[in-house]
Amino acid sequence: AQSVAQPEDQVNVAEGNPLTVKCTYSVSGNPYLFWYVQYPNRGLQFLLKYITGDNLVKGSYGFEAEFNKSQTSFHLKKPSALVSDSALYFCAVRVRVIGAGSYQLTFGKGTKLSVIP
Amino acid sequence: ETGVTQSPTHLIKTRGQQVTLRCSSQSGHNTVSWYQQALGQGPQFIFQYYREEENGRGNFPPRFSGLQFPNYSSELNVNALELDDSALYLCASSLGPGMNTEAFFGQGTRLTVV
C-alpha cells in the first residue's frame, strides 16, 4: 500500500530556531507529495508540493521541504520558527483510487508543532 | 481562504439517525472529494464526485453516500449513524480528478454522534 509516515507525534522548538517536521513515504513509482497545515477547528491549508524537478521545494509562509529519494523522505523545514507556526502538520501522498480514474490524498497521522516563545 | 465552504460547521446527532453535510466548491472546480478526520488522525478519503457521478471510493460502507449537483456543489449523506462516525468531515474541490490537480479544503463540519 502506498503511504506516508510521520514518526513524531509532537515537535517542540524555541521561537527563532530552525524547525523540521519529518515525513517518510512508501510509494511505487514517482511520488507526488504534499504538506498541509491545520489550525484548531479549521480545515487544511496547502503549504507546498513536490511533483518533479528540484528536490528543494519552497512553499507558503517561509516553509520549504526537501525531497530525498534515497531516504524516501520529504521533511518540512523552516529556518526560523514563529509562535504563529504552532499547528498540526500533515504530510500526504497522491495515490490512484483502486478501480477508478481518480486520485486521492493519503495522509500521515499528523505532527503537532509547538513553538515556544 | 480557499473559497470552499461547508455547512453546517457543527452538529450533533443521535445514533441511528441520518445526516446530510453540504459543500460548495471553489469557483470553476468540477471535482469534489470528501474526507473523514477522526480525532488524532489524518484525514481518510471517503469518495470523490466528478461531473455529478461518483468517481472513486475509499474504504467506507454504503451507508456513506453522496451527490454532486450541476453547479458542482456536493452533499455527503450518512445513514444509520454510529458513534464512530463522530469526526471532522472535510470537503476538497479541484479542477478535475487528475494527478496534477491541487485540492483546496473547506473548514470542515464537526459531527458528534451521541
Collect all residues of chain B within an 8 Å Cβ-Cβ radius of residue A96.
99
Burial B62-95 (b: 16+ CB within 10 A, else e): eebbbbbeeebbbbbebeebeeebbbbbbbbbbb
User: Radius of gyration over alpha carbons of chain B, in Å?
Assistant: 13
Whether residue B103 and residue A110 make contact (CB cut-off 8 A), yes or no, is no
Minimal-distance CA residue of chain A relative to B97: A102
Q: For residues A81 and A117, give the distance between their C-alpha atoms in angstroms, rounded to a whole number.
A: 10
DSSP A62: G
Banded pLDDT at A40 (limits 50, 70, 90): confident
Counted across chains A and B, CB pairs separated by less than 8 A come out at 78
Parallel/antiparallel/unpaired status of strands A24-26 and A19-21: unpaired
pLDDT of residue B41: 92
pLDDT of residue A102: 82
A43-99 pLDDT tens trace: 899 999 998 888 999 999 999 999 999 999 999 999 999 999 999 999 999 988 877
Whether residue B40 and residue A45 make contact (CB cut-off 8 A), yes or no, is no
The closest CB to that of B55, out of A42, A49, A100, belongs to: A100
Q: For residues B99 and A83, give the distance between their C-alpha atoms in angstroms, rounded to a whole number.
A: 34
